[in-house]
Amino acid sequence: MINNSKVVDLYAFDRESVLTSSQRQDELFERLFPDQVEVGEKQSTTLDWILKRTSDSTNSSQPRDIILFFNKLCDVQNKRLERGDPEPTGSFLFDRSAFKEALPALSEYRVSRVLFAEYPHLRKYIEALREQKTEQNAESLGRLWSLDPDTTKSIAKQLRDIGMFEERASKSEVTYWVPFVYRPYLDMSQGKVEEIR
């Protein structure tokens, strides 16, 4: 953004001084973006929201994914303005709701062009998670995949190793949690799978 002459002119800042100061970078970010995407006392800051929703289970975000997300965010906001929607409030470049609207494009990219392309042997197991809950256990995955317990655990570990699952252990069981970045494309719903008795 600091290389965009229109943004520099609109916000009247000195590019070099922003580049050399983390405080000025934070101040510029606060001028350009709302403080939160989801408003609430316990909700993340916008920057944390972006990092959480662009990272896989290793909790690391790839620069290319963040760039892809911001490019889509620009597209979403521009389309809104072209339709005659109100401009973002205050000095912000983007409306809060545009962030959520931009996320599915990154999700599709991460699933179809990264996971499916790099790990085609795992595609059917990932596809089986479509429209499921975001937290599964070995038993529910075994049912979804029609596999025995040992093979199920082996596949789940492979999905963990590629960043698709975060393995969470409690006193009673191990569960597999799907990071935010994969959920929109797979149309997954928040929550833990219910046990069948």
**Distance between CA atoms of residues 52 and 37, nearest Å:** 12
pLDDT tens digit sequence for 30-84: 999 999 999 999 999 999 999 999 999 988 888 999 999 999 999 999 999 999 9
| Nearest by Cα to 141 from 173, 114, 112, 100 | 173
Residues 6+ positions from 54 with CB-CB distance below 8 Å? 61, 62, 65, 66, 69, 106, 181
Q: What percent of the chain has pLDDT over 90?
A: 84
Q: Which DSSP string corresponds to 70-132?
A: HHHHHHHHHHHHHTTPPPPSTT-SS-HHHHHHHHHHHHHIIIIIIIHHH-GGGHHHHHTTTTS
Using the predicted structure, report yes or no on whether residue 196 has a pLDDT greater than 60.
no
Domain 120-192 class?
Answer: mainly alpha
Q: What is the pLDDT of residue 138?
A: 95
For the chain, the domains span 5-118, 120-192
Q: What is the pLDDT of residue 181?
A: 96
| Nearest by Cα to 47 from 57, 32, 58 | 32
At CA 78, angle to CA 53 and CA 9, rounded to 5? 100
Q: Which helix H or strand E contains 168, and what residues bound it?
A: strand 166-169
Secondary structure (3-state) at 183: helix
Q: What percent of the chain has pLDDT over 70?
A: 98
Residue 62 DSSP one-character state = -
Secondary structure (3-state) at 103: helix
Mean pLDDT of the chain: 93
| Nearest by Cα to 89 from 35, 25, 26 | 35
pTM of the model: 0.87
pLDDT band per the 50, 70, 90 thresholds, residue 197: very low
CB 11 within 8 A of CB 91: yes
Over residues 94-108, mean pLDDT: 95
Phi, psi of 136 (to 5 degrees): -120, 165
**Distance between CA atoms of residues 98 and 76, nearest Å:** 6
pLDDT tens digit sequence for 140-181: 999 999 999 999 999 999 999 999 999 999 888 899 999 999
Q: What is the pLDDT of residue 59?
A: 87
